[in-house]
Structure 1
Amino acid sequence: MQTSETCAVSIITPCYNSRVCISETIDSVLAQTYGDWEMIIVDDCSTDDSAGIIKEYAAKDPRIRYLKTAVASGSPTIPRNMGIDNAKGKYIAFLDADDKWLPDKLERQLCFMEDTQCDFVYSDYEKIKSDGERGNRVVRMPQKATFWDVIETCVIPCLTVMIKKETIGNTRFKSVAKEDFVFWLDILKKGVIAYNVGSVLALYREQPQSRSSNKWVMIKEQWDILRNVEGVKPAVATYFMTKFLFYGFLKYLK
């Protein structure tokens, strides 16, 4: 079991009041066919017993690390940035506290990255209900994603990403709406291209009260990012919003 100062993959998991799901999330990492990883779980000052559950796992497996924010931040931004800052791995992967991976997720993506010498990958995923029930609701993503692909359709699911730490460099999540979307754009501005490994490797748990469940809020956030964060002109932003709404409708049908 890996306990050294380095590892291949650092898995970053922000956590807030996730006692119901966090065990399933950690178990999905423990079940990986590839074992040279660390899982950094950053607790955003949970008020339930999430911390106790995580610490029990960490006591049994030194690859699991528990960190805590100084104050509750109310978003994944600070926990994810803490995770990146403390990561020992050559690669960074992201997994929220209510989602899960299929057992070959890390192995498949590492093999793909080594074979193709690419720096940034993602995958298809499957939606599951809040109780974990699966229904074969698979969401297929494009084969690759450039900056302009992502700004049009927001095509990179956070729970499926693996990226070289050196490619991230000093880039960090910003305290904005849709912080993961903006983070991918900041990475891709460097000329990086992200590639889909072409398989379903993750399970996204739908939560009725999540930000992504409120479609009107998502539309407003997308517009604000295009106009106020990326500085896209109104006519071009309207075109991108049309594409975003079209692809969003297709995802909603799943």
Structure 2
Amino acid sequence: MNNQKNLVSIVTPVYNSEKYIKDTIKSVLSQTYTNWEMLIVDDCSIDETASIIAQFKDPRIRYIKLSHNSGAARARNVALENINGKFIAFLDADDMWKPDKLETQLKFMLDNNYAFTYTAYEIIQEGDNKLINVPNKLSYSQFMKNTIIGTLTVMINTEITGSIRLVDVKKDHDSMTWAKLLRSGYTAYGLNESLAYYRKVSGSISNNKIKAALNHWKNCRNIERLSVCKCAYYFIFYAANAFKKHLF
């Protein structure tokens, strides 16, 4: 594996993330694969997030502060406008990676010339872990029935896909971005090996499943332009799979 050629740019949006951001950064610093840069975009935090990030002196960590609060999609897109690597990985401010995450997934991509991959991961909540296994590949229609791709596990080779921008909606922008990539003809390939920890935080937007489901419906209609019948068809499977994924 040519380390100099295969720089991985890690995209991390933060907003009032003082509770967990230290663990998130430490999980990146612990990676066995060392040719990475981490772009942390601060969406106008008003807590101690910035001072905690400043404690880490590693030159691979780059901190960008937005001038006004714009939401996670905009923060991620600002990071994407400033990356140097051809590989992109995503890690939110309350999630963590296992030490071999980058090395294992990058090898998986290079060995198979994949453009878009994801892995299994574990949901952690109050000390309990739940393993989320993943299928070995997903087409557009399969993904719309089961949005099982964890953003914290995604890696994209932009040398194949071209530059990436997140769909700029306030909620569910990651799923809509993966849908857009798949709709354009790419297949997402899954590595069914747990390489990350998704922290389920009470009160977070993603933790409110009814609102998340309604947002997903709206986005499928307004962004994906699906008919009511097609949207309802996908939504039945989506809801059932989401329930299984988050049921502890």
TM more than 0.5: yes
8 Å CA contact 1:13, 1:95 repeated in 2:
yes
The 1-side partners of 2:162 and 2:67 are apart by 24
**Among 224, 231, 253, which residue is 2:247 paired with?**
253
Q: Which runs of 5+ in 1 are unaligned?
A: none
TM-score, length-scaled by structure 2 = 0.94
Map of 1:233 onto structure 2: 227
SS in 1 for 2:34: coil
Cα distance per residue 1:218-245 (max 9 Å; x no partner): 1211211121111111111111110011
Q: Quick one: which of 35, 58, 61 aligns to 1:61?
A: 58
CA distance in 2, matches of 1:175, 1:113: 27
1:128 to 2:128 alignment: no
Find the counterpart in structure 2 of residue 221 from structure 1: 215
- AA matched with 2:151: C
Which ranges of 4 or more aligned residues in structure 1 deviate by more than 2 Å?
165-171
Give 1:115's aligned residue: 111
Other-structure match for 1:92? 88
One-letter amino acid of the counterpart of residue 94, structure 2 = D
1:161 and 1:224 map into 2 onto residues whose CA distance is 24
Secondary structure in structure 2 of the residue aligned to 1:211:
coil
Q: CA deviation at 1:168?
A: 4.7
Q: In the TM superposition, what is the alpha-carbon distance from 1:170 to its structure 2 partner?
A: 4.3
Q: For residue 108 of structure 1, what is the amino acid of its counterpart?
A: T
Following superposition of structure 1 onto structure 2, how do residues 1-254 of structure 1 map, counting pairs within 5 Å?
8-57=7-56, 60-73=57-70, 75-129=71-125, 133=127, 135-176=128-169, 177-254=171-248
Deviations 1:62-88, CA, capped at 9 Å, x for gaps: 000001112111x21111001111011
Identity of aligned residues (%): 42
TM-score for both structures, normalised by structure 1: 0.92
- RMSD, matched Cα: 1.5
Amino acid at match of 1:122: Y
Query: How many residues get paired?
Result: 244
Which amino acid is the alignment partner of residue 154 of structure 1?
T
Distance 1:136 1:211 in 2: 20
Structure 2: stretches of 5+ with no match in the other structure: none
Q: Which amino acid aligns with 2:93?
A: A
Q: Are 1:81 and 1:172, in contact at CA under 8 Å, matched by a contact in 2?
A: yes
Secondary structure at 2:206 match in 1: helix
